[in-house]
Amino acid sequence: MKPEIKMRSAYSFLFPIQTRWADNDIYGHVNNVIYYSYFDTAANALLIQKTGFNIHHSPIIGLVVNSCCNFLQELTYPEIIEVGVAVAKIGNSSLTYDLAIFKQGQNQASAQGSFVHVFVERETKKSTTIPKEMRDALRAYLVE
């Protein structure tokens, strides 16, 4: 079943990324696994920029426990893309992100997907509640 293609206007947080020479595979386009690195980079940018999350010193960290991607249009090097990030669900210890990759100047997604961060204590890796301050900041990006 073909997914409904996401539009740029659905995302209030867009993170620009320059594709790299090493992103292309032998077939001349960005390899599928690289899309997940774009998703991860943009979701973490949202956390860092909008919640003040300190990836180096925070007592909690987010671990990706689930991810998916629908590939709709190939990307290549060199291109500047933008990754749209929204929050689909805020759980007790988890965040589900709604993500889409847009080519510069295009309104329809070239790829779209999701992934789930589960927050754990940095030292013990035990699941922990998302702090209220982070939860409050992320509500601005929550989509219904």
| Assigned domain for 1 exists | no
Residue-number span of the structural domain to which 102 is assigned: 8-141
Residue 2 lies in a domain: no
Cβ(102)–Cβ(14) below 8 Å:
yes
H or E segment and range at residue 61: strand 60-71
Domain count, the chain: 1
- CATH number assigned to the domain comprising residue 121: 3.10.129.10
Q: Is the pLDDT of residue 138 over 80?
A: yes
Share of the chain above pLDDT 70, in %: 100
Query: CA 110, CA 100: separation in Å to the nearest integer?
Result: 7
Examine the pLDDT at 126 and tell me if it is beyond 90. yes
Does residue 126 sit within a domain?
yes
| CA separation, residue 61 to residues 78, 127, 130, 131, 138 (Å) | 32, 10, 10, 11, 16
Tell me the average pLDDT across 46-67. Answer: 97
Residue 90 lies in a domain: yes
Q: Is residue 34 part of a domain?
A: yes
- Encode pLDDT of 61-107 as tens digits: 999 999 999 999 999 999 999 999 999 999 999 999 999 999 999 99
* pLDDT surpasses 80 at 1: no
